[in-house]
């Protein structure tokens, strides 16, 4: 196999189309956690960040590779691109690649923990590995256990932001600013897991056939869309309020960002709300599924809308902290 083809298969099973949106979570943690731009540009911190981001990408890849490895039969029905990639690569080789990624991330996390003197970093890496693997593989297989499916939101949304915050921040976990950031991360997690529910709903027919009790299978697509909208709304309120108080801690002028956050959150949930309303006028769940699949091409943009105002807020917080130093 040519190196070019091997890289293409690797990118496919790692689902790198989702990587830019998730890396935004890393940026948010870095922007909000750092004391100043000068601090971020210091030699030691740059090295820690590079190593930390490598760990994150390794574990991001692990989660999706394990899912492709475990769900190759399901993907044969509707996600043929993933199925073909697994078949071309070989499930045994894919499994070995997963193990190598996990071992490398554990070793690197131990090194970063020593550098930063924050045991929480290794703790988060271990949790991320457990949830990322347990999501798809027995005996846990959280994705088929109803509400336990929601655990996948932690390694995708909560852990990246908190993890990157800890890479650059030296204050204790009990610090008010840190507590507010963790609350904001919880809000982001709830809001964007809501969007994962929509994506999961797309797989409802295949999941039913394979006996996977995902939330969408259990609730039906219409109810899933309703819960998605409400969860996004709740998460949006939490993150907006948490950031508002963080602005007050840093500088009152940052309050001008609140409307920008609200607008971004609104557009994040707008399409889901529209799909739910549309469901009342469709004759069957099959028709609703067709409508949903038409929207999946712009699905990553829903995440981008919701995170855009938050990312801008993080950058502004960093700039203001740098100016008042």
Degrees (nearest 5) of the Cα angle 130, 149, 89?
A: 60
What is the C-alpha separation between 81 and 12, in angstroms, rounded? 8
List of residues 6+ apart from 294 with CB closer than 8 A? none
Condensed to tens digits (0 to 9), the pLDDT of residues 1-48 reads: 667 777 887 788 777 777 776 778 789 999 999 999 999 999 899 999
**Residue 248: its pLDDT value, please?**
95
128 in the same domain as 160: yes
Sign of dihedral through CA atoms 182, 186, 192, 197?
positive
160 in the same domain as 191: no
Contact by Cβ (8 Å): 65, 46: no
305 in the same domain as 162: no
Q: Beta partners for 213? A: 145
Phi first, then psi, for residue 145 (nearest 5°) are -115, 50
Give the count of domains, the chain: 2
What is the C-alpha separation between 215 and 55, in angstroms, rounded? 30
60 in the same domain as 35: yes
From 204, 201, 58, 66, select the one nearest 131 (Cα to Cα). 66
- Work out the burial of residue 183: count CB atoms within 10 Å of its CB; fewer than 13 is exposed, 13-18 middle, 19 or more buried: middle
> End of a domain among 170, 193, 227?
170
Low-confidence ranges of the chain (pLDDT < 70): 1-2, 21, 72-78, 140, 143-149, 210, 325
C-alpha radius of gyration, the chain, whole number: 20
DSSP letters spanning 193-215 = HHHHHHHHHTTHHHHHHTT-B-H
176 in the same domain as 161: no
From 101, 109, 25, 16, select the one nearest 66 (Cα to Cα). 101
**Residue 128: its pLDDT value, please?**
87
> End of a domain among 138, 170, 202?
170
Condensed to tens digits (0 to 9), the pLDDT of residues 190-207 reads: 998 888 888 888 878 877
27 in the same domain as 8: yes
68 in the same domain as 116: yes
252 in the same domain as 179: yes
Q: Residue 316: count other Cβ atoms within 10 Å of its Cβ.
A: 19
Query: Residue 139: which domain range?
Result: 1-170
Phi first, then psi, for residue 71 (nearest 5°) are -105, 25
3-state secondary structure of 136: coil
**Residue 28: its pLDDT value, please?**
92
> End of a domain among 150, 170, 190?
170
What is the C-alpha separation between 50 and 281, in angstroms, rounded? 50
pTM for the full predicted model: 0.86
The pair of structure tokens assigned to 79 is: 């996600």
282 in the same domain as 321: yes
302 in the same domain as 191: yes
291 in the same domain as 263: yes
Contact by Cβ (8 Å): 206, 74: yes
Phi first, then psi, for residue 284 (nearest 5°) are -150, 165
Give, as one character, the DSSP assignment of residue 283: S
259 in the same domain as 296: yes
Tokens 């995170």 -> residue: 307
DSSP letters spanning 150-172 = GGGHIIIIIHHHHHHHHHH--S-
Q: Beta partners for 145? A: 213
Tokens 């932001």 -> residue: 161
Contact by Cβ (8 Å): 128, 155: yes
């Amino acid at each position: 196999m040519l190196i070019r083809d091997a890289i293409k298969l690797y990118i496919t099973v790692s689902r790198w189309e989702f990587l830019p949106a998730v890396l935004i979570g890393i940026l948010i943690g870095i922007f909000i956690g750092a004391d100043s731009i000068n601090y971020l540009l210091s030699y030691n911190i740059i090295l820690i960040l590079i190593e930390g981001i490598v760990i994150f990408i390794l574990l991001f890849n692990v989660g999706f590779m394990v899912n492709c490895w475990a769900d190759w039969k399901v993907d044969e029905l509707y996600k043929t691109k993933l199925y073909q990639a697994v078949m071309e690569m070989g499930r045994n080789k894919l499994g070995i690649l997963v193990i190598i990624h996990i071992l490398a991330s554990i070793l690197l996390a131990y090194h970063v923990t020593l550098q930063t003197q924050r045991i929480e970093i290794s703790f988060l890496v271990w949790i991320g590995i457990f949830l990322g693997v347990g999501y798809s593989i027995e005996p846990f297989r959280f994705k088929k256990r109803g509400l336990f499916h929601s655990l996948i939101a932690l390694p995708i949304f909560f852990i990246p932001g908190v993890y990157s915050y800890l890479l650059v921040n030296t204050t204790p976990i009990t610090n008010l600013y840190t507590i507010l950031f963790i609350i904001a991360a919880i809000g982001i997690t709830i809001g964007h897991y809501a969007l994962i529910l929509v994506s999961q709903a797309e797989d409802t027919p295949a999941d039913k056939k394979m006996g996977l009790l995902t939330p969408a299978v259990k609730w039906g697509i219409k109810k899933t869309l309703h819960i998605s909208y409400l969860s996004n709304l709740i998460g949006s309120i939490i993150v907006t309020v948490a950031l508002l108080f963080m602005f007050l801690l840093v500088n009152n002028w940052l309050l001008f960002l609140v409307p920008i956050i609200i607008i971004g959150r609104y557009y994040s949930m707008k399409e889901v709300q529209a799909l739910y309303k549309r469901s009342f006028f469709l004759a069957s769940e099959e028709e609703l599924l067709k409508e949903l699949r038409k929207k999946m091409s712009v699905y990553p943009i829903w995440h981008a809308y919701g995170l855009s105002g938050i990312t801008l807020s993080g950058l502004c917080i960093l700039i203001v902290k740098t100016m008042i130093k």
